Amino acid sequence: MSPLFDGVFKRDMAIAFRQKSELVQPIMFLLMVVTLFPLGVGPSPDTLQRIGPGVIWIAAILSSLMGMERLFRDDFQDGSLEQVMLSPVPLWQVVAVKVLGHWLVSFIPLLLLSPLLAVFLNLTFGMYQALIVTLILGTPLLSFVGAIAVGLTVGLQRGGLLLALLLIPVFIPLLIFATSAVDSAALQLPYQPQIAIIGAMLLLSVAASPFAIAYALRVSQN
């Protein structure tokens, strides 16, 4: 475990915390996207409450797409990813740890910020509870599935927009189940079924995607 923890996890964390602007920008972006909605659709509390869960989730997906590129880009460009591939540690373990680190860095701030967003959008406490559960289960899914597309596009010059084109359709089911869970909570209906489905999708992606990411990186490295 030690080479993975010391060599990959601690290093990624150190790099992330030294590039503070890259750490903060996606969160600022998220906050601003959420701010646009009350201005765009009008500040009526009922409207905001109805669209709130969807807005928060859409903002989370968009901001994750902004920051996702960072996941392998620097390592790919300075060649350390190639060295990792040559090392005896299996690549899928390395990418799993890297994705986990990316999730911690990019989505923990979102989770911390979520009460503020809930207040902005006038969510009830029951809705907020459902929202936080869907965020905890759903955002790792964004990281793991997104990393496959990042691995595929990392070698391209202008991969950013392409990454969004590839990933948005893939994230639609998550958006649907997550917002429908919060809607059920708003009506005080049980929302466990949606949570169970998101959990199942998360388990599938955690089990399968490290291998897909490793393969994608090998394709990019050629």
Partner 1 sequence: MWKFLHPYAKPERAYQLCQTLQPWFWSLAAVCLVTGSIWGLLFAPQDYQQGDSFRIIYIHVPSAILSMSTYVAMAVAAVVGLVWQWRTAFMAMIAMAPVGAVMTFIALVTGAAWGKPMWGAWWVWDARLTSELILLFLYMGVIALYGAFEDKQQAGKAAGVMALVGVVNVPIIHYSVEWWNTLHQGATISKFDTPSIAPEMLWPLLINLAGFAFFIAAVTVVRLRSEILRRDVHRPWVQALAEQRENRRAV
Closest to 182 measured CA to CA, from 196, 169, 195, 200: 195
Binding of residue 142 to partner 1 (CB under 8 A): no
Binding of residue 2 to partner 1 (CB under 8 A): no
Binding of residue 143 to partner 1 (CB under 8 A): no
Q: Between 37 and 177, whose beta carbon lies closer to partner 1? A: 177
Cβ-contact 65, 202 below 8 angstroms: no
- Map residues 175-204 to x or -, x wherever contact with partner 1 holds by CB under 8 A: -xx--x--------------------x--x
**Which range, of 12-20, 59-67, 72-80, 156-164, touches partner 1 by CB under 8 A?**
156-164
Q: Between 117 and 214, whose beta carbon lies closer to partner 1? A: 214
Binding of residue 156 to partner 1 (CB under 8 A): yes
Q: Which of residues 74-133 bind partner 1 (CB under 8 A)?
A: none
| Shortest distance, position 146 Cβ to partner 1, whole Å | 10
**Residue that has been written with the tokens 């955690």 in this structure:** 206
Of 58, 118, 141, 145, the residue at the interface with partner 1 (CB under 8 A) is 145
Kindly list the residues in this chain that would bind partner 1 in the complex (CB under 8 A). Answer: 145, 148-149, 152-153, 155-156, 158-159, 162, 165-166, 168-170, 172-173, 176-177, 180, 201, 204, 212, 215-216, 219-220, 222
